[in-house]
Chain A
């Protein structure tokens, strides 16, 4: 439950923002991180940005998520299809 995901701020007005992570967009609030701006990458937890992170750190997480999704897809594929 304490997982936060990195996402890029693509729209912003006051403490309300829209973020993008791997093509998924959602609305968040930046009340806890007033220093962030458009284009910044933040860790988002339960609808709130909790800290700013660098692009390289975010990329590592996104790649990991992609890898997990790929593995899960392989695991759930029927045996004949995985040949």
Chain B
């Protein structure tokens, strides 16, 4: 094990020396962010490689307006809110789902449980907070299909599912064009397939390497990236072939295409990204919580002083935020990157930047 780490470090050092300039590699996956810290991978890298945490944590990239809309829905007497646990502590402009202490807010472990809540509470309109990237979105589509088949009419979603490729493009097209390469998310890639990154490699000439979450595999991924940059190549590689196929999970992709369409929805810190958010197709509008409950989606400003937006673009590291560790900490989070255990701020706080 140690000798293979040494081998990898040598490969990295050689590549970095030959590249002759500092390089910036962005990971777009909250699970990678945490794994890089937890396994001390950052401290193993030679000088000259900088790792940036990108917009890869679904809770972190959900805009303030969507969170406030969810909070408003939770304060009605005719709704039952179902949400993954990750969302419960995220502060809206005035409160959070947790602080509301409402009996009509329920944490679910899967969309199946959310649909079940609709079956058991026919007098309520159940709203499922549909957040998450392509890994998570197919589970929403499965229960929409089921609700349709069973004729369940009181099940709705507040749709904020995000797509990773448009976000990568948006970063390169201006928000942060200093990114040299991407370490691509393992489990998003199980769904979208490694071929999905080809436009990033081919049009924008940035190496894209898909990796799982095992420390040696992440290091191997970083080494492959450095070797591509050294030899002037930009292509898609995968070091996670055990789970990721070039075409992804075609059943899941077909389901997404059946129910959703991409639109230019808002992201925290990145603004509106062309085709970066999923919304329900017109023929499935009956599942749209906003339309069914006749509310106006809110458009709220981000918390004053909070730099989550710049953190998500990889423009600053969390300690550069004036709130970091002072008034914003995991126990008193101001921005979502501190709330989510996969957020960059939370990881920096917990591991002190190691």
Contact = CB atoms under 8 A, between A and B. Distances in A.
Interface string B122-154: 000000000111011011001000000000000
Interface string B172-186: 000000000000010
A69 to B, nearest CB: 12
Contacts of B30: 1-2
A29 B340 contact: no
Nearest to A52: B243
B138 A48 contact: yes
A48 B255 CA distance: 14
Contacts of A33: 249, 251
Interface string B102-125: 000000011111000000000000
B146 to A, nearest CB: 9
A76 to B, nearest CB: 13
Interface residues of B, number: 40
B266 interface: no
Contacts of B317: none
A1 B136 contact: yes
Contacts of B113: 47
Interface in A1-55: 1-4, 28-29, 31-34, 43, 45-48, 50-51, 53-54
B118 to A, nearest CB: 16
A29 B146 CA distance: 13
A48 B84 CA distance: 14
Contacts of A53: 242-243
B57 A1 contact: yes
Nearest to B110: A47
Nearest to A35: B251
B188 interface: yes
Interface residues of A, number: 25
Given A47-B139, A48-B142, A68-B38, A3 B187 contact: yes
B243 A1 contact: no
B111 A1 contact: no
A46 B84 CA distance: 9
A68 B215 CA distance: 12
B31 A2 contact: yes
Contacts of A29: 110, 112, 142
Interface in A48-83: 48, 50-51, 53-54, 56-57, 60-61, 64, 68
Contact of A45 (B112, B131, B135, B242): B135
B190 interface: yes
A47 B242 contact: no
A61 B59 CA distance: 25
Given A1-B86, A2-B29, A64-B214, A32 B138 contact: yes
Closest 3 CB pairs of A and B: A47-B110, A57-B242, A2-B135
30 contacts: A1-B58, A1-B131, A1-B136, A1-B340, A2-B56, A2-B132, A2-B187, A2-B188, A3-B31, A3-B213, A4-B135, A29-B110, A29-B142, A31-B251, A33-B249, A33-B251, A43-B187, A47-B110, A47-B111, A47-B113, A48-B138, A48-B142, A50-B135, A50-B252, A51-B245, A57-B242, A60-B214, A61-B214, A64-B213, A68-B38
